[in-house]
Structure 1
Amino acid sequence: MIKTAMEKFVIVGAGMTGASSAALLRKILPVGTVVKILDKSRGTGGRMSTSRSSTGNSATVDLGAQYISINSHYAKVHQSIHEELISQGLLKASSGVIEDDKFGGDDIQQYITPAGVSSLVKYFVKQAGGEVAFEEHVTKVDVVGTKVKLTTLKGEEELCDGVILTMPVPQILQLEGSIRHLIDSQPKVKENLEKVSYSMRFAVGLFYDAGVTLSYPWAAKYFKDNPCVCYVAIDDKKRGIENSSVGSSAVVHTSVHFGMKHLEEDKEEVKNIIMKHVRELLPDLPEPSEVKGHKWRYSQVHKSYADEPGCVVLSHSPPIILAGDAFSHSNLDGCLTSALSARDAFVKSTGVKLPSNHL
């Protein structure tokens, strides 16, 4: 168990699990301890991604997670966190029509994010109060004495007192360095990691000039029988934004089957295929001023780590912890469950004391 003061702790991944893990650690680490987040992308959010139009139009669209679905169990377990997000205006009960909703139910309350789903992640990053470094692709994790050394694709090194890795499991298994020995030396852990799988899909964001109206009775709609499109949302309507001077936006998600079929094809070519299906489904949809495509190689978790432990500790000294929705489930509360589990594992490994009013 580590008894010396921690100078720096690193979280790899600026998605919801990484951001909330950083915020939770910030609450228990001494003042002066650096909490740093590294991410290989150009911004926060991970699969809670909000994309902005590149044409000068300030419209945004959620390309990843669409709604925050909270069941009665997590409404109690994570009540204080939900209430905090609601009080900050980041979460709001949904009032829009979701046609043919396949995820709702009497036990689930749907929430929307007025500022875009990535605003939740940005909030936790701000609460962490630490450094965030983008376009830092960690490729190697080594134990060096009582420290962890992270090496990026650029060859840059980061020495820290511990790390939480929140990237998709296949990317964890691709890491080089002594982390491979840590995984290989725990056969059951390795077996369970190798069994984790993800769904794959494409998303397309549609941006419109101000004044263009998308006149549909629904904010979002699921399509059950189309070979390509499974979901379309009018993003501003979904978020409850009315009469905005900013142009409308919409998002299209493909089915998992379509995503798997076209996964290795050029994103721009696939985007054209998707738009052909969209125009057939919604022939009266106005022509957008911009169309942005995105490939989700790792969309929702298809098969979780066995028994969904929340996190897995590869090393206690120094702490190397695996976390993310693969160790729970793919929604806000799954990420929060994993982050809380990672925090508790960190406490057990280091002897840091939890505050009396912790969740």
Structure 2
Amino acid sequence: MLRVLIVGAGLTGSLCACLLRRALQNRVHIQVWDKARGTGGRMATSRVSECVGADLGAQYITATKFYKNKHHSLYEELVSSGVLVPMSCSVEGLQQKDESENFISPKGTSHIVKHFLQQSGAEVHLLRHVTSVCLRGASWEVEFSEGQTESFDAVVLTMPVPQILQLRGDVSRCLSEQQGALLAQVRYSSRFALVLFFSRDSSLDLEHDLKYVSNSPCIRYISVEHRKRDTDLSDLGPSLVVHTSVSFGSQYLDSDPVQVQTLILDELHRLLPQLPQPISIKTHKWRFSQVVSSVPGCPGHMTVLNEPLLLLGGDAFTHSNFDGCAESALSMLSTLTETLMTSH
């Protein structure tokens, strides 16, 4: 049985695992590793037991006419299983593209990733921070944070490009000069997400459901999560998500987290002075929020070595949204199936 490791339990990694399972069935043993405590990547959903869950990263899925057709089977699968539903709430300040459609995940965007991971039958390991990837004959030896190693016939890396280039071992050494130059052109934006959880008897009496803010140097987006998901609040407290602007994210990227949270809260209370007192607050830093400059040509993935197979994928090779991650996963699937079945 071929042993395949996919590093990164975000959308690209989970969908790649799912598609690979469907293509090769029981001919592959798939493992998915992630350094975080939970799956989802930039589709993470934060929860407290008595409140509506809150999406820390991706808020909703926008499907253009082109991608609704191209990725029809993926959208059909997610809608038919209830993982995605058409978004019914209003979005103030959104410039909607013609014939595009917005979808939300009623259980949070992380449920999209969980769906594909469940379908993949992969062995998922969290809190595994990959530190080195070394070539050992016909396989890859991968070390994670505890100093332990495992060997694989193929490795797929879907983390942000700067994290890939920081790995010890043979990844950078196997890159050609041209590949290294292409990866060096990848750039990301940074931002912070702030979530406020409120008690069941709290009322978020706001005019908007979701809003893009244009008059703040700090805050770019605000979402009332139960309205976004059309969730009944009879047993749950409301939650509010705030995303900062890219300029704010860049300016305070390495600042004290307490200072950053205070700055965001001060601005939020200026914009929404009627907010009740939250019972819990969470701030999350997205150092690699969205790809600003992708690998030129958007090839979907990069093949570093054919034998043993090493692939780099993710939105850095396409664009930062659902369909960009799907494009990368589909691109890698083609190479994985062709190479693995030919070499074995």
TM-score (norm 2): 0.97
Is 1:136–2:131 an aligned residue pair? no
SS of the counterpart of 1:283?
coil
Shifted more, 161-170 versus 284-293: the winner is 284-293
Shifted more, 73-82 versus 25-34: the winner is 25-34
Whether the 8 Å contact between 2:319 and 2:325 is mirrored in structure 1 is: yes
Shifted more, 243-252 versus 62-71: the winner is 243-252
Task: State, as a whole percentage, how many aligned pairs show the same letter.
Answer: 41
Cα RMSD (Å) of the superposition?
A: 1.3
Q: How many Å apart are 1:268 and its aligned residue?
A: 2.2
Aligned mates of 2:287, 2:199 — CA distance in 1 = 30
Paired position in structure 1 for 2:74: 81
Q: How many Å apart are 1:107 and its aligned residue?
A: 3.0
Paired position in structure 1 for 2:192: 202
Q: Which runs of 5+ in 2 are unaligned?
A: none
Q: How many Å apart are 1:311 and its aligned residue?
A: 0.5
- The structure 2 residue matched to 1:228, chosen from 193, 196, 218, is 218
Paired position in structure 2 for 1:357: none
Q: How many Å apart are 1:96 and its aligned residue?
A: 0.4
Whether the 8 Å contact between 1:234 and 1:250 is mirrored in structure 2 is: yes
Aligned mates of 2:99, 2:186 — CA distance in 1 = 27
Count of residue correspondences: 343
Paired position in structure 1 for 2:334: 344
- Deviations along 1:293-339, one digit per CA (max 9) or x if unpaired, are 00000001111011100000001111100000110111111111100
Whether the 8 Å contact between 2:165 and 2:171 is mirrored in structure 1 is: no
Whether the 8 Å contact between 2:158 and 2:312 is mirrored in structure 1 is: yes
Aligned mates of 2:81, 2:258 — CA distance in 1 = 38
Is 1:153–2:145 an aligned residue pair? yes
Query: Would you identify which runs of 4 or more consecutive aligned residues in structure 1 move more than 6 Å?
Result: none
Is 1:241–2:234 an aligned residue pair? no
Relative to 1, partners in 2 of residues 1:30 and 1:238: Cα closer, same or farther, differing over 3 Å?
Answer: closer
SS of the counterpart of 1:253?
strand
Q: Which AA in structure 1 matches 2:159?
A: M
Is 1:98–2:88 an aligned residue pair? no
Q: How many Å apart are 1:212 and its aligned residue?
A: 1.4
Q: Which AA in structure 1 matches 2:75?
A: H
Whether the 8 Å contact between 1:61 and 1:249 is mirrored in structure 2 is: yes
Whether the 8 Å contact between 1:96 and 1:218 is mirrored in structure 2 is: no
- The structure 2 residue matched to 1:34, chosen from 7, 29, 36, is 29
Q: Which AA in structure 2 matches 1:34?
A: H
Q: How many Å apart are 1:58 and its aligned residue?
A: 4.4
Q: Which AA in structure 1 matches 2:55?
A: D
Aligned mates of 2:212, 2:128 — CA distance in 1 = 36
Whether the 8 Å contact between 2:51 and 2:198 is mirrored in structure 1 is: no
Aligned mates of 2:178, 2:215 — CA distance in 1 = 40
Shifted more, 114-123 versus 218-227: the winner is 218-227
Whether the 8 Å contact between 1:9 and 1:35 is mirrored in structure 2 is: yes
Aligned mates of 2:297, 2:153 — CA distance in 1 = 29
SS of the counterpart of 1:149?
strand
- Deviations along 1:47-103, one digit per CA (max 9) or x if unpaired, are 0010012xx42431001000101000000000011011000111111110100114x
Q: Which AA in structure 2 matches 1:121?
A: V
Is 1:59–2:49 an aligned residue pair? no
Paired position in structure 1 for 2:13: 18
- The structure 2 residue matched to 1:115, chosen from 81, 87, 107, is 107
SS of the counterpart of 1:29?
helix
Relative to 1, partners in 2 of residues 1:240 and 1:152: Cα closer, same or farther, differing over 3 Å?
Answer: same
Aligned mates of 2:6, 2:159 — CA distance in 1 = 10
Whether the 8 Å contact between 1:28 and 1:352 is mirrored in structure 2 is: no
- Deviations along 1:22-54, one digit per CA (max 9) or x if unpaired, are 00111122415310000000110000010012x
Whether the 8 Å contact between 2:226 and 2:233 is mirrored in structure 1 is: no
TM-score (norm 1): 0.93
Aligned mates of 2:342, 2:17 — CA distance in 1 = 15
SS of the counterpart of 2:202?
coil
Is 1:178–2:162 an aligned residue pair? no
Aligned mates of 1:142, 1:173 — CA distance in 2 = 13
Aligned mates of 1:352, 1:280 — CA distance in 2 = 61
- The structure 2 residue matched to 1:316, chosen from 297, 303, 306, is 306
